[in-house]
Amino acid sequence: MSTNRYVARANNVAARMIGGEMMIMSGADSSLYSLNETASILWQAADGVTPLAQIVEKHICGDYAVDPAMALRDAEELSEELARHGILLLSDDPLPDSGPPSKASP
């Protein structure tokens, strides 16, 4: 798997941090998802222009006692899962114009 992948929040989702969990509703079928703390960090940092590896290094490895390689592998798996559900975009190239700004947190 490429370590230079880019992630961006889909632009048709609704999202809000509620009680420490990021709740996301898919615009495609109104399915509701809940992300835990670390997944929420990744989702909020998914601006389309910061490489996934950099997001993991800056936002996950810096705050959690985790092996960087394992953290990146987990993040890639999570990103692919979220992309399958249509709430995250995943690309080998930057996605500068996709996704709303992260204003989901109170």
- Binding interface with other proteins (CB under 8 A): 11-19, 21, 23, 25, 27, 29-39, 42, 64-67, 70, 74-75, 78, 81-82, 85, 100-101, 103-104, 106
Chain centroid to Cα 4, Å, comes to 15
Q: In the complex, what is the shortest distance from the CB of residue 27 to other proteins, in angstroms, rounded to a whole number?
A: 5
- The CA-based angle 6-31-77, given to 5 degrees, is 35
Taking the complex as a whole, the smallest distance from the CB of residue 101 to other proteins amounts, in Å, to 6
Dihedral (CA of 75, 34, 26, 62) sign = negative
Q: How far is the CB of 5 from other proteins (least distance, A)?
A: 16
